[in-house]
Amino acid sequence: MKKLHTLSLALGIFLSVFILTCTHDNGPAASELILPRVVSEDETFRVVRVLEGLEHPWSFTFLPDGRILVTERPGRLALVENGRIRRLSGLSDIVATGQGGLLDVVLHPEYEQNGWIYFSYSGGSRTELSTRVARARVSASRLIDVQIIFTMQPASAGGRHFGSRLAFMDDGTVLITLGERGEQNRAQDLKDHAGSTIRLHDDGSVPEDNPFVGRMDAVPEIYTYGNRNAQGMAVQPGTGLVWQHEHGPRGGDEINIIEPGKNYGWPVITYGREYSGGSIGIGTEAPGMEQPILHWTPSIAPSGMTFYSGSLFPAWRGNLFVGALVGRHLRRLVVEGTRVVHQEILLQDSLGRIRDVREGPDGALWLITDSRNGGLYRIEPVQ
């Protein structure tokens, strides 16, 4: 009997370990409290790591059923459910090189009716590479009905400045940010998509009221131009204004409120300098070119950003949150009208390079970190 009991106990432990291993063979362990209490200027919160094991995650979005889609820059789309990661098949055409790969992901505003997700990536070949945007539907463990709705032209070599943030405006059109691919003067060429914000209908067709429709010297998709490499964009609740930030070179990161047809100056005007220290353009101002709402020198390397509108953090409602890569923190911006009147640095060097920040359906703030073992984190209130 004693031997039988010992055998049964050993078998039970084996089965428990086996089941636990099977539960997590596609993902990491359960949530872990990382920072139990952080006291900021207006709120007190804690940070929970929901999962790790993401390879250079770039963006994420929440499905209505509670699952989370996370893009991994090497070219994988992760579906997170109950602390597990499942990679979806059906992606193609992605060329992951330098800053490129699988980048942003958002849901169609009417996702619950049509099931469309939209994602951006670098595609083509290493010598003819461009930012592309596709839409698809999630079915079990794969993407179906994949349709490319936009390809930046002209394509070019190199692994820099793909831009690639997506946002749906209140009128149902979608905005796409495009970097100038490291070739500065392309941002001032209206016949070139590079260095611009693109506006399209949800099927990829061009809205008739785009600012350059009908002009022979411009491509009709362009909504704004003179943008260096915008990697953050958010529509402000209540106003519908589109706030966008872009990377400067050495200094000169900017936040702008973008408006149709406006020229945001790069590389003619900038608050940044060449990485070697030399000057760029003609200065910081020029007629017909927009001034930023805010600029950062030295650079913080801003990443994703979101307005907070939830109820868990009432003192933060209406604030704009920006992730920082080089700065390795979360930046809170207090907004009044079209001005930033105060800034607070949160989580300095606590989590690493913050790549994206979103408000979750639970009213918490969620973050992802950019590393080989990137994590998904939740900021929640503490009494």
User: Which are the catalytic amino acids?
Assistant: 161
Strand-pairing partners, residue 51, are 376
Token pair in block for residue 203: 């099927």
Token pair in block for residue 355: 């790549």
With left for phi above 0 and alpha for psi between -120 and 50, is residue 247 left, alpha or beta? beta
Q: What is the DSSP track for 263-327? A: B--TTTB-S-B-TTS---TTBS--TT-PPPSEEESS---EEEEEE---SS-GGGTT-EEEEETTT
- With 0-12 CB in 10 A as exposed, 13-18 as middle and 19+ as buried, what is 102? buried
149 near 135, Cβ under 8 Å? yes
Give dist(CA 56, CA 355) in Å, integer. Answer: 9
Length of the chain: 383
Its sign, for the CA torsion 282, 288, 294, 300, is negative
Which residues neighbour 38 within 8 Å (Cβ) at sequence distance 6 or greater? 44, 45, 46, 47, 346, 347, 382
DSSP three-state, residue 13: helix
- With 0-12 CB in 10 A as exposed, 13-18 as middle and 19+ as buried, what is 342? exposed
Give dist(CA 219, CA 203) in Å, integer. Answer: 18
Written as one letter, the residue type at 46 is R
Q: What is the DSSP track for 111-152? A: HHHH--EEEEEEEE-SSSEEEEEEEEEEETTEEEEEEEEEE-
